[in-house]
Amino acid sequence: MNKNIDDIENLIQLEHLRDSAPPTNGGGLGLFANLVKVLGSSTKTNDKLEALVNYFALADNKDKVWVIALFSGRKPKRAVNTTQLITWCIEVTDLPGWLFGESYHTVGDLAETIALLLPETISSEQQHESKPLYFYIEKFKQIEKQDESVKRKFIIESWEQMDQNERFVFNKLITGAFRIGVSQKMMVNALAKFTSLEASVIAHRISGNWDPSTTTFGELLNENPAITDYSKPYPFYLAYALDEEPANLGDPDNWQVEWKWDGIRGQVIKRNNQLFVWSRGEELMTEKFPEYSCLKDLLPDGTVLDGEIIPSIDKKPLPFALLQTRIGRKNVTKKNLQETPITFFAYDLLEYNYEDWRNKPLSERRKQLEAIIRPLTTPTIILSPVISFSDWNELAELRQTSRENGAEGFMIKRKSSLYQVGRKTGDWWKWKIDPLVIDCVMIYAEKGSGRRSNLYTAYTFAVKDGEKLIPFTRAYSGLTDKEFAEVDSFVKRNSLEKFGPVRTVKPELVFEIAFEGIAASNRHKSGVALRFPRINRWRKDKKPDEINTLEDLKKMLEVYGTKPQS
């Protein structure tokens, strides 16, 4: 249905006449906005899958390619910056800047704030035409280099032709990535309905390096791809946490056990005489780790390895904190290379001689992996060792030595297992050691971001040192919504001071913080840095004077910590 949007009177009348059927909005951005809404709000996997399948059934082919790209972390060209977007929103709404700021602070998402603030020109219930998703994305590319006035005109006119849901996704396209509850597995399952390709092949196709503006839907899901992308990684197979006694896994002989390393999961690809290193987050990290460049000459062509990216010296891993200092760095210095040499702990072989090996059993893959790695003498790549053990009790005992070995427990893999896609239960398990814990008191609180933007949910905790309280970590997760609300109301009633967004709180609430590791740090007042701190439980049974001391933390550092070299 075509409408003249200048004629507001007419629009209002039409709105009143519309029937009660839910809007269809005839494809384009509206269809996409609807999809994002369902994906963002539904709590059931089946509903999400159904929404995706519906979308792929109805949407324009070019739009589909973009949706696949967006949902796997690719971004369109950034045509305007957030400052411009905010400025224009303030102009259109005629609100003072500070009030925009307050609104943003409460909503926690810029795209949504703007969508909520803009005056409604078309209601969500109203049937209206919406342009295709690719139209906007191509337009962003066109106006990228043009005058600000051109951009302004395009953005404001676009807003006027959209309802609130469309404005939200439109703003999202401009401001950055869509983070919504769609796993790659789910997208693959939805796409599998439209092609005879196997799920693992689809997953492979949509990962890696491809350009959504030049790739067609046909090419992406073609049964015989014409172009070869040598960099393309395989989707990772992920393990489930073992939540029962390992004895229930049966005969130990059926299982291969390795240490669970505390680095970054990665894939090393050697194809076409080129080397590519991918992280599990599907980030191409080849340049970050110059050490790996030697692998280009050492690995046979047509090889894909799965393993852990981790700094190590003499086959012994260094603390994760050191890896972080490497990742954050733009230029790697000679000193970095000496102090934190990055190693690849290889544990699986996914491709050999350009042949996909994922459907061979682990035992066979491991054998070939060993044949490839063993002869190499470089410290840059090593085999992640297989732990020998005769019964599960022995393994449980060995597990107690995880921290000394720089590991966080075991990986238990069925020897007959194929290399699957995503998280599948049954064949691969992670058997992690219990976290370290410490009791402490909350002393600062800050409002959360995004979905928790209205509540004080980010806390700083302290241990005691004599009479003093020494802050040592922050944590944002681990409480139920109900508990967060309870703490939030405590914070509001017991704030002592306000420093910007931070409130100093009466030190009264005691929490048990769990963490995976501890390292010395001179950037922290307490002298320690924790790895993966989170709230384990609220110790309502404890009083603030019963918390742990700085001394306790230092002891933990001595026992479990790995000091950074100086």
Partner 1 sequence: MALIEFTDKGLCCPQGKFYIDPWKPVDKALITHAHSDHARWGSKSYLCHTYSKPILQLRLGDNPYQTVEWNENISINGVKVSFHPAGHVIGSSQIRVEYNGEVWVVSGDYKVVDDGISGQFEPVPCNTFITESTFGLPIYKWKLPEQINKDIQNWILKNQEEGRTSVIIAYSLGKAQRVLKAIAEVTQNIFVHGAIYNIHATLMQAGWNLPAVKRVTNETKKEELAGSVVVAPPSADGSSWMKRFTPYSVGVCSGWMQVRGNARRRNVDAGFAMSDHADWAGLLQAVKATGADKVFVTHGFQAQFSRFLNENGIEAAEVKTEYGNDEEEGPTALTAAEE
Interface with partner 1 (CB under 8 A):
20, 22, 40-44, 93, 95-96, 98-99, 102-103, 106-109, 112-113, 116-117, 120, 123, 125, 168, 450-455, 481-482, 484-486, 488-489
Q: What share of the chain is helix, strand, coil (3-state, %, to 5)?
A: 40, 25, 35
Residue 390 CA from chain centroid, whole number: 38
Residue linked to tokens 């005489």: 273
Q: Are 277 and 289 in contact (CB under 8 A)?
A: yes
> Could you tell me which of 523, 515, 507 has the C-alpha nearest to residue 556?
515
For residue 531, the cross-strand partners are 517
Side chain identity, residue 482? K
Distance, CA of 278 to CA of 525 (rounded, Å): 36
Q: Report the nearest approach of partner 1 to the CB of residue 123 (Å).
A: 8
Distance, CA of 346 to CA of 370 (rounded, Å): 9
Which of residues 390 and 480 has its CB atom nearest to partner 1 in the complex?
480
Which of residues 308 and 446 has its CB atom nearest to partner 1 in the complex?
446
Which of residues 218 and 450 has its CB atom nearest to partner 1 in the complex?
450
Q: Report the nearest approach of partner 1 to the CB of residue 448 (Å).
A: 9
Which of residues 42 and 286 has its CB atom nearest to partner 1 in the complex?
42
Q: Report the nearest approach of partner 1 to the CB of residue 318 (Å).
A: 38
Q: Report the nearest approach of partner 1 to the CB of residue 18 (Å).
A: 11
Q: Report the nearest approach of partner 1 to the CB of residue 252 (Å).
A: 39
Which of residues 90 and 313 has its CB atom nearest to partner 1 in the complex?
90
For residue 498, the cross-strand partners are 503
Which of residues 305 and 455 has its CB atom nearest to partner 1 in the complex?
455
Which of residues 39 and 362 has its CB atom nearest to partner 1 in the complex?
39
Distance, CA of 56 to CA of 71 (rounded, Å): 13
The total of other beta-carbon atoms located within 10 Å of residue 264's CB is 21
Q: Report the nearest approach of partner 1 to the CB of residue 168 (Å).
A: 8
Residue 238 CA from chain centroid, whole number: 14
Distance, CA of 89 to CA of 359 (rounded, Å): 53
Q: Report the nearest approach of partner 1 to the CB of residue 28 (Å).
A: 21
Q: Report the nearest approach of partner 1 to the CB of residue 216 (Å).
A: 32
Q: Report the nearest approach of partner 1 to the CB of residue 56 (Å).
A: 21
* Residues whose CB is less than 8 angstroms from the CB of residue 19 and which lie 6 or more positions away in sequence, other chains included: none
Distance, CA of 396 to CA of 199 (rounded, Å): 36
Distance, CA of 384 to CA of 395 (rounded, Å): 17
* Catalytic one of 62, 260, 413, 464: 260
Distance, CA of 268 to CA of 380 (rounded, Å): 12
Tokens at 381, concatenated: 């790549």
Which of residues 330 and 493 has its CB atom nearest to partner 1 in the complex?
493
Q: Are 455 and 477 in contact (CB under 8 A)?
A: no
Tokens at 35, concatenated: 């999809």
Which of residues 195 and 454 has its CB atom nearest to partner 1 in the complex?
454
Containing H/E element for 295? Answer: helix 295-298
Q: Report the nearest approach of partner 1 to the CB of residue 17 (Å).
A: 14
Residue linked to tokens 């994002």: 36
- Clarify whether 432 is annotated catalytic: no
Which of residues 17 and 226 has its CB atom nearest to partner 1 in the complex?
17
Q: Are 230 and 271 in contact (CB under 8 A)?
A: yes
Residue linked to tokens 């109203």: 126
> Could you tell me which of 471, 462, 469, 458 has the C-alpha nearest to residue 440?
462
Distance, CA of 98 to CA of 90 (rounded, Å): 10
Terminal alpha carbon distance of the chain: 70
> Could you tell me which of 439, 542, 442 has the C-alpha nearest to residue 484?
442
Distance, CA of 545 to CA of 79 (rounded, Å): 55
**Which amino acids are annotated catalytic?**
260
